[in-house]
Amino acid sequence: GENVEQHPSTLSVQEGDSAVIKCTYSDSASNYFPWYKQELGKRPQLIIDIRSNVGEKKDQRIAVTLNKTAKHFSLHITETQPEDSAVYFCAASDGRGGDMRFGAGTRLTVKP
Protein backbone atom coordinates (compact mmCIF):
# COMPACT_ATOMS: atom_id res chain seq x y z
CA GLY A 1 0.00 0.00 0.00
CA GLU A 2 0.88 3.65 -0.14
CA ASN A 3 3.40 5.06 2.31
CA VAL A 4 3.81 8.80 2.75
CA GLU A 5 6.84 10.30 4.47
CA GLN A 6 6.79 13.93 5.61
CA HIS A 7 9.60 16.24 6.74
CA PRO A 8 10.33 18.10 8.88
CA SER A 9 8.24 17.08 11.89
CA THR A 10 8.56 20.56 13.36
CA LEU A 11 9.35 23.87 11.71
CA SER A 12 9.76 27.25 13.33
CA VAL A 13 10.02 30.39 11.22
CA GLN A 14 9.95 34.12 11.80
CA GLU A 15 6.88 35.99 10.64
CA GLY A 16 7.32 37.03 7.03
CA ASP A 17 9.71 34.19 6.19
CA SER A 18 8.87 31.28 3.92
CA ALA A 19 8.15 27.74 5.06
CA VAL A 20 8.66 24.58 3.03
CA ILE A 21 7.34 21.13 3.92
CA LYS A 22 8.28 18.09 1.88
CA CYS A 23 6.61 14.72 1.33
CA THR A 24 7.48 11.59 -0.56
CA TYR A 25 5.16 8.78 -1.57
CA SER A 26 5.73 5.22 -2.65
CA ASP A 27 2.83 4.16 -4.86
CA SER A 28 3.22 5.26 -8.48
CA ALA A 29 -0.57 4.86 -8.90
CA SER A 30 -1.17 7.82 -6.59
CA ASN A 31 -2.37 10.80 -8.56
CA TYR A 32 -4.01 13.12 -6.04
CA PHE A 33 -2.02 15.02 -3.40
CA PRO A 34 -3.86 17.28 -0.95
CA TRP A 35 -2.48 19.33 1.91
CA TYR A 36 -4.47 19.79 5.09
CA LYS A 37 -4.06 22.29 7.91
CA GLN A 38 -5.16 21.19 11.36
CA GLU A 39 -5.43 23.52 14.31
CA LEU A 40 -5.50 22.10 17.80
CA GLY A 41 -8.68 20.10 18.42
CA LYS A 42 -10.12 20.94 15.03
CA ARG A 43 -10.83 19.04 11.84
CA PRO A 44 -8.27 18.85 9.00
CA GLN A 45 -8.99 21.65 6.55
CA LEU A 46 -7.99 21.32 2.91
CA ILE A 47 -5.75 24.23 1.94
CA ILE A 48 -4.53 23.18 -1.49
CA ASP A 49 -4.33 20.08 -3.64
CA ILE A 50 -2.62 18.99 -6.82
CA ARG A 51 -3.21 16.26 -9.34
CA SER A 52 -0.55 14.33 -11.16
CA ASN A 53 -1.12 16.03 -14.50
CA VAL A 54 0.08 19.33 -13.01
CA GLY A 55 3.56 20.21 -11.77
CA GLU A 56 2.74 23.28 -9.71
CA LYS A 57 -0.28 25.06 -8.30
CA LYS A 58 -0.49 28.35 -6.47
CA ASP A 59 -3.17 29.99 -4.36
CA GLN A 60 -2.13 33.36 -2.95
CA ARG A 61 0.62 32.69 -0.39
CA ILE A 62 0.44 28.92 -0.74
CA ALA A 63 1.94 26.80 -3.51
CA VAL A 64 2.44 23.11 -4.06
CA THR A 65 4.92 21.46 -6.40
CA LEU A 66 4.89 17.86 -7.58
CA ASN A 67 7.67 15.77 -9.06
CA LYS A 68 6.07 12.53 -10.23
CA THR A 69 9.34 11.01 -11.38
CA ALA A 70 10.93 11.42 -7.98
CA LYS A 71 7.61 10.81 -6.17
CA HIS A 72 7.80 13.89 -4.03
CA PHE A 73 5.70 16.97 -3.49
CA SER A 74 6.16 20.07 -1.41
CA LEU A 75 4.13 22.80 0.24
CA HIS A 76 5.47 26.34 0.13
CA ILE A 77 4.04 29.10 2.30
CA THR A 78 5.38 32.59 1.68
CA GLU A 79 5.10 35.67 3.91
CA THR A 80 4.12 33.52 6.87
CA GLN A 81 1.83 34.95 9.54
CA PRO A 82 1.25 33.82 13.13
CA GLU A 83 -2.17 32.46 12.11
CA ASP A 84 -0.38 30.01 9.80
CA SER A 85 0.79 28.20 12.95
CA ALA A 86 -0.78 24.73 12.90
CA VAL A 87 -0.01 21.12 12.01
CA TYR A 88 0.16 20.52 8.27
CA PHE A 89 -0.45 17.09 6.76
CA CYS A 90 0.28 15.93 3.25
CA ALA A 91 -1.63 13.00 1.79
CA ALA A 92 -1.72 10.84 -1.31
CA SER A 93 -4.38 8.74 -2.96
CA ASP A 94 -5.16 7.12 -6.28
CA GLY A 95 -8.23 9.31 -6.49
CA ARG A 96 -10.76 6.56 -7.11
CA GLY A 97 -12.69 7.08 -3.89
CA GLY A 98 -10.27 4.79 -2.15
CA ASP A 99 -7.97 5.27 0.73
CA MET A 100 -5.97 8.42 1.32
CA ARG A 101 -2.72 8.00 3.23
CA PHE A 102 -1.42 10.84 5.34
CA GLY A 103 2.06 11.89 6.28
CA ALA A 104 3.00 12.18 9.93
CA GLY A 105 2.45 15.93 10.00
CA THR A 106 4.59 19.04 10.42
CA ARG A 107 4.03 21.36 13.33
CA LEU A 108 4.64 24.86 11.97
CA THR A 109 5.21 27.69 14.41
CA VAL A 110 5.37 31.23 13.08
CA LYS A 111 6.97 33.58 15.59
CA PRO A 112 5.82 37.19 15.56
Partner 1 sequence: EPEVTQTPSHQVTQMGQEVILRCVPISNHLYFYWYRQILGQKVEFLVSFYNNEISEKSEIFDDQFSVERPDGSNFTLKIRSTKLEDSAMYFCASSAQGTDTQYFGPGTRLTVL
Smallest gap from Cβ 104 to partner 1, in A, equals 5
Q: Is 24 in the site for partner 1 (CB under 8 A)?
A: no
95 near partner 1, judged by CB under 8 A: yes
If binding is defined by CB under 8 A, does position 57 make contact with partner 1? no
Residue 96 phi, psi (nearest 5) = -110, 35
Write down the least CB distance from residue 82 to partner 1, Å.
22
Q: In this chain, which of 46, 54, 59, 67 binds partner 1, going by CB under 8 A?
A: 46
Positive or negative, the CA dihedral 85, 91, 96, 99 is negative
**DSSP string across the chain:** ---EEEE-SEEEEETTS-EEEEEEE--TT--EEEEEEE-TTS--EEEEEEETT-SEEEETTEEEEEETTTTEEEEEE-S--GGG-EEEEEEEE-SSS--EEE---EEEEEE-
Using CB under 8 A as the binding rule, whether residue 40 contacts partner 1 is answered as no
Out of 11, 22, 27, 32, the residue judged to bind partner 1 by CB under 8 A: 32
The distance of closest approach from Cβ of residue 81 to partner 1 in the complex, given in angstroms and rounded to an integer, is 23
Applying CB under 8 A, the residues found at the interface with partner 1 are 1, 32, 34, 36, 42-46, 49, 51, 89, 91, 93, 95-105
